Amino acid sequence: MKKNLFLLFVLLSAAVGVRAEKVTIAAKNIAIVLDVENGRQPQYLYFGTRLSAADEAALQLPQGGRMDAYPAYGLNTPAEAALAMRHADGNLSTALVATGVSRQGNVTTIHLEDPVYATQVDLKYKAYADVDMIEMWTEITNREKSAVTLTQFASAMLPIRRGNVWLSHLYGSWANEGRLAEEELLPGQKIIKNKDGVRNSHTDHAEVMFSLDGKGRENAGDVIGAALCYSGNYKLKVETDDTDYHYFFAGINEENSEYHLKRGETFRTPVLALTFSREGLSGASRNFHKWGRTYQLAHGNKPRKILLNSWEGVYFDINEAGMDQMMADIAGMGGELFVMDDGWFGEKYPRKNDHTSLGDWQVDRQKLPHGIEGLIADAGKHGISFGIWIEPEMTNRISELYEKHPDWIIKAPRRDAVQGRGGTQLVLDLSNPKVQDFAFGIVDGLMTRYPGIDYIKWDANMAVMNHGSQYLPMQDQSHLYIAYHEGFRKLCDRIRSKYPDLTIQACASGGGRANWGVLPWFDEFWVSDNTDALQRVYMQWGTSYFFPAIAMASHISAVPNHTVFRTTSLKYRIDVAMSGRLGMEIQPKNMTDAEKALCRQAITEYKQIRPVVQFGNIYRLQSPYDRQGVASLMYVDDARSKAVFYWWKTDNFANQHLPRIKMAGLQANRNYRVHELNRIDNKPLDFERKSFSGAYLMEHGLEIPYTHSVDHAERNEWSSRVLFLEAQ
């Protein structure tokens, strides 16, 4: 009560704009405290778990570091800055001091101004009462006589305490997305950045975690998590300098993107979402997932359908009979949705491969004589929903669209366009409102003609390779990347305001769009074009640091795998896919009856555990990156009465003993009955249907047999288990 009164006092005094000493931005269990004094740059006092009023009152400014809330370039030039600009008269120096604090709902604003120039900077903080997340962003307004140029414009800066701080982040490439990297922060700079222009998570990711007390542990230790919510080029920078603090800057990548801010215009930076957990890396992940499902992800509270996607099954070989057969097969296995991937469109230039037709979104009647309406009717007949693939931001040199609108593509002035996939792909210039209208029309046209479409797979298979907009004036060419993503935002907003219920997947040559900046419009993302189950254990492990299972599309595919040519067992493929948003990406026609039966069983069982997987809390238990021969994680529901435990063997050596895995997240004093899902063994596990206390499961764990007891002819090198735990 006292704490609340104190907070109220702080907030009330802030609201009336008087000189405020301490400004607290408090989410459910975490808080930022700033020292704000009019006429000075606000200072960070604290970031961590919420403090008592007494502790908060006693807070002192950390010594020996630079605690500026939003350092500007010019009057302490050796230090890194969050903001740098050229004023209208050419002056490169900026000073920012507080002029007041205001509050509206759960958003606190600290108003800053340059005492000499009419530059206003509002630092915005949005704190959620029911989740542990604080969103920060900045609004920069030019009130000078003419345009100013922004050359650095971070969303936020956070000084991170001295000591043995470790950084966890994701890296990778096409077919190898979401790899986890962990490193100690040492003096110097660590930069994580993206310059793709269109997609931003194939390689590095715009989310990081900082473990504050040595190398990160999954279920213990203090962890700060940060996610830059932006669809475009970003830069995250950690500078560890002679003060030994780690200064973390995050924002749009300013390289080749200086921004001319007109008089009266406001530049709003993307949100940096910040969390803090005392329960290790998994704890920070749970905070991201809960906040994400509640406030960011499209339909974050709606269970996802189990689908079959046609891509790896038939690639471009789309035809009516084939689609009908696939729909019948997935319906027969208990699936709920069929998605027709690439290859269904193009009249003058039918899409037979990736060389042609993007932009020509008319049905190829040769392949589909009864059109999309025919397919939707077929889906209805099989009792499932229908989805379709599009790639709205792109065209090919060989397309009717390009013939009509060569001026709509991105290319450097006076040079030929660089062509991408298929040797002919081109990126449309979304900074151009006409292109935005066209792209909106693709979705709108499909949805108007075929209101039965339930799901769209939205792909983006090319980077901005050449810098240049045919729409933007020559003096504003540096606006290209920002304007593209502003156009993308407008387009997505428009689509969502007209089609709020549509399910939309963000795909981008696989996992190029796994970012919280796009997920408010998208229901999920395709983790990777690589569906090999073993590699997926690694990729999905990393991806789960920041994204919940409900958003991670994870499909059972054929063997040998089409990317790595590895042959895993169907059981293993199922057990891995079942830890995300389960789907299939296979030609069911080529499956045996026994394989179909196993998938049918898995789909039935997934429906039972779907709420736990898709809405539960993740506890990562044994990392595949530790190379112990096994990886394991679990999801526990909010009531801690149901849990799903996954165990995947990652190596296969005779007489190699595997660590026994301790569970987490259960209630110590409750008993949980264990039931194996997707069972293939001839006999049940020793602990099948037996009950154990949460304490036992968390302190000792179950001894999982290393192999499957199946007939000799059925044996293979793969071993995995999925256990369903229910409190008694």
Residues that bind ligand GLA (CB under 6 A): 311, 341-342, 354, 389, 459, 461, 507, 509-510, 526, 529
Distance between CA atoms of 250 and 156, rounded to whole angstroms? 6
- Crossing angle between the packed helical segments 480-498 and 433-449, to the nearest 10 degrees: 30
Considering the complex, state which of residue 459 and residue 637 has its C-beta at the smaller distance from ligand GLA: 459
Q: How far is the CB of 391 from ligand GLA (least distance, A)?
A: 8
Distance between CA atoms of 247 and 269, rounded to whole angstroms? 19
Residue with tokens 């997707």: 678
Contact in structure between 237 and 249 (CB atoms under 8 Å): yes
Element (H, E) at 225: strand 223-229
Number of H helices, E strands in the chain: 13, 35
Q: How far is the CB of 508 from ligand GLA (least distance, A)?
A: 7
Considering the complex, state which of residue 273 and residue 358 has its C-beta at the smaller distance from ligand GLA: 358
Q: Which of 678, 694, 297 is nearest to 519 (CA)?
A: 297
Q: How far is the CB of 315 from ligand GLA (least distance, A)?
A: 8
Q: Which of 558, 610, 561, 541 is nearest to 582 (CA)?
A: 610
Considering the complex, state which of residue 389 and residue 522 has its C-beta at the smaller distance from ligand GLA: 389
Considering the complex, state which of residue 456 and residue 598 has its C-beta at the smaller distance from ligand GLA: 456
Helix H, strand E, coil C: the string for 98-121 is EEEEEEECCEEEEEEECCCCCEEE
Considering the complex, state which of residue 459 and residue 676 has its C-beta at the smaller distance from ligand GLA: 459
Q: How far is the CB of 398 from ligand GLA (least distance, A)?
A: 15
Any residues with CB less than 8 A from the CB of 258 and at least 6 apart, and which?
149, 150, 151, 478
Considering the complex, state which of residue 577 and residue 702 has its C-beta at the smaller distance from ligand GLA: 577
Q: How far is the CB of 469 from ligand GLA (least distance, A)?
A: 25
Angstrom CA distances, 464 to 96, 265, 408, 425, 516, stand at 35, 27, 13, 11, 21
Q: How far is the CB of 722 from ligand GLA (least distance, A)?
A: 25
Helix H, strand E, coil C: the string for 178-218 is CEEEEEECCCEEEEEECCCCCCCCCCCCCEEEEECCCCCCC
Distance between CA atoms of 393 and 419, rounded to whole angstroms? 14
Considering the complex, state which of residue 356 and residue 469 has its C-beta at the smaller distance from ligand GLA: 356
Considering the complex, state which of residue 468 and residue 512 has its C-beta at the smaller distance from ligand GLA: 512
Considering the complex, state which of residue 279 and residue 354 has its C-beta at the smaller distance from ligand GLA: 354
Tell how far CA 533 is from the center of its chain. 20
Angstrom CA distances, 572 to 491, 558, 599, 676, 685, stand at 40, 12, 12, 14, 17
Say whether 163 sits in a helix, a strand or coil: coil
- Looking at the DSSP assignment, which residues form a beta bridge with residue 458? 390, 506
Say whether 96 sits in a helix, a strand or coil: coil
Q: How far is the CB of 459 from ligand GLA (least distance, A)?
A: 5
Any residues with CB less than 8 A from the CB of 178 and at least 6 apart, and which?
170, 172, 205, 511, 514, 527, 528, 538, 539, 540, 541, 542, 543
Considering the complex, state which of residue 239 and residue 529 has its C-beta at the smaller distance from ligand GLA: 529
Considering the complex, state which of residue 258 and residue 391 has its C-beta at the smaller distance from ligand GLA: 391
Q: How far is the CB of 387 from ligand GLA (least distance, A)?
A: 12
Considering the complex, state which of residue 86 and residue 562 has its C-beta at the smaller distance from ligand GLA: 562
Considering the complex, state which of residue 73 and residue 389 has its C-beta at the smaller distance from ligand GLA: 389
Any residues with CB less than 8 A from the CB of 191 and at least 6 apart, and which?
235, 236, 237
Q: How far is the CB of 721 from ligand GLA (least distance, A)?
A: 29
Q: Residue 55 CB: number of other CB atoms within 10 A? A: 12
Considering the complex, state which of residue 285 and residue 530 has its C-beta at the smaller distance from ligand GLA: 530
Considering the complex, state which of residue 529 and residue 605 has its C-beta at the smaller distance from ligand GLA: 529
Q: How far is the CB of 564 from ligand GLA (least distance, A)?
A: 16
| Amino acid symbol at 511 | G
Q: How far is the CB of 309 from ligand GLA (least distance, A)?
A: 7
Measured at CB, which residue is nearest to ligand GLA? 342
Distance between CA atoms of 501 and 498, rounded to whole angstroms? 9
Say whether 516 sits in a helix, a strand or coil: coil
Q: How far is the CB of 114 from ligand GLA (least distance, A)?
A: 46
Q: How far is the CB of 405 from ligand GLA (least distance, A)?
A: 22
Q: How far is the CB of 175 from ligand GLA (least distance, A)?
A: 10
- Paired sense of beta strands 524-526 and 552-557, if any: parallel
Q: How far is the CB of 585 from ligand GLA (least distance, A)?
A: 8
Say whether 302 sits in a helix, a strand or coil: coil
Angstrom CA distances, 306 to 376, 568, 623, stand at 17, 22, 27
Angstrom CA distances, 130 to 297, 445, 687, stand at 16, 39, 38
Q: How far is the CB of 676 from ligand GLA (least distance, A)?
A: 32
Contact in structure between 455 and 501 (CB atoms under 8 Å): no
Q: How far is the CB of 311 from ligand GLA (least distance, A)?
A: 5
Considering the complex, state which of residue 507 and residue 534 has its C-beta at the smaller distance from ligand GLA: 507
Distance between CA atoms of 317 and 457, rounded to whole angstroms? 18
Considering the complex, state which of residue 87 and residue 202 has its C-beta at the smaller distance from ligand GLA: 202
Q: How far apart are the first and last CA of the chain?
A: 37
